[in-house]
Amino acid sequence: MQTTAEYYCAFCGETNSTFVDISAGMQQSYTEDCQVCCRPNVLYVYVDEDTLEVQINSDYEE
C-alpha cells in the first residue's frame, strides 16, 4: 500500500512530497533528492501502526 507524505528539505527548507510504501515496514530510511534544490536528503520514515499516519524527518546525506 502506498501513500503520499511531505517532508522539509534539510538543505533549502522547501516542502517536498514523496510516496511511502507502507508494506516496506513501519520504520524506513532511504535517500531522496529534493525536488527544488536537487540535493540528497536522508529520509527517516515512521508509520503509526494504528492510524497509518506517516511522519518523515530529513537529514543531510553524509
* pLDDT tens digits, one per residue of 5-53: 999 999 999 999 999 999 999 999 999 999 999 999 999 999 999 999 9
The SS3 call for residue 47 is: strand
Range of the domain at 6: 2-60
At 16 the pLDDT is: 98
Q: Indicate the pTM of the whole model.
A: 0.90
Q: How many domains does the chain have?
A: 1
At 29 the pLDDT is: 96
Task: Assess whether pLDDT exceeds 90 at residue 1.
Answer: no
CA distance 51 to 44: 18
List all residues 6 or more positions away from 11 whose beta carbon is below 8 Å from its beta carbon. 34, 37, 39, 41, 60
Burial class (CB in 10 A: 0-12, 13-18, 19+), 40: middle
2 against 39, higher pLDDT: 39
Q: Which of 61, 53, 60 is nearest to 5 (CA)?
A: 53
